[in-house]
Amino acid sequence: MPRCDNCGSFVTQQYVRVFTPDEVEKPRVCPYCEDLVRDGNEIRQARASRGNS
């Protein structure tokens, strides 16, 4: 299984297929990241804790 490039959490192949460009094998951020979020095509600092811990 692939891992998130930011936090190292496992992500599914389906998540990678949907949320990363074709040439990228590891997402830059995932739902388990507390410090970064996806914002369209960009990655930004989270404004508040996402509380996934």
Using one digit for the tens of pLDDT, what is the confidence trace for 1-53? Answer: 899 888 899 999 998 888 888 888 888 888 888 887 777 777 778 777 666 55
pLDDT of residue 12: 92
- Asked if the structure places residue 38 within a domain, the reply is yes
- Asked if the structure places residue 30 within a domain, the reply is yes
pTM: 0.67
Distance in angstroms (rounded) separating the CA atoms of residues 35 and 18? 21
As for how many domains the chain has, the answer is: 1
Question: What range does the domain containing 20 cover?
Answer: 1-48
- Asked if the structure places residue 43 within a domain, the reply is yes
pLDDT of residue 52: 54
- Asked if the structure places residue 53 within a domain, the reply is no
Distance in angstroms (rounded) separating the CA atoms of residues 22 and 1? 16
